[in-house]
Amino acid sequence: MALDARGVSSNGSAPRCEHLDALVPVAPDSSTCRECGATGEHRAGLVACLTCGWVACSDDSPRRHARAHYEETDHPVVRALQSTSTWRWCYVHRRTV
């Protein structure tokens, strides 16, 4: 069964992530992971939730606060905090989208 252009993601032949369709532009609410900052830690691997703008440390950090945010809220997609990056991750599909 062939997929049309809308049914294929930009990262190859994987089905398009439908979670991207529900997103509206949202600005990051911070430039640091507040939870790490509260304990005096500062993480470089930061991501922003594309549903609410929450900024947290990524799965590359020991605390994984972004994953905890997803598990608590079901907000599925994050992006790298760097404004020049196009990297996005869907926790539901467990892949780059």
Domains of the chain by residue range? 22-96
Give the 3-state secondary structure of residue 36. Answer: helix
Task: Please tell me the predicted confidence (pLDDT) of residue 15.
Answer: 79
Mean pLDDT score across all residues of the chain: 87
- Tell me the average pLDDT across 11-31: 86
**Is residue 97 packed enough to be buried (19+ CB in 10 Å), middle (13-18) or exposed (0-12)?**
buried
Q: Name the residue type at position 60.
A: D
Instruction: State yes or no: pLDDT of 54 exceeds 70.
Output: yes
Inter-residue contact 72 to 52 (CB < 8 Å) = no
Q: Which ranges of 54-93 would DSSP assign to H, the alpha helix?
A: 65-73
CATH of 22-96 given 3.30.300.100, 3.30.40.10, 3.40.50.1100, 3.40.50.1580: 3.30.40.10
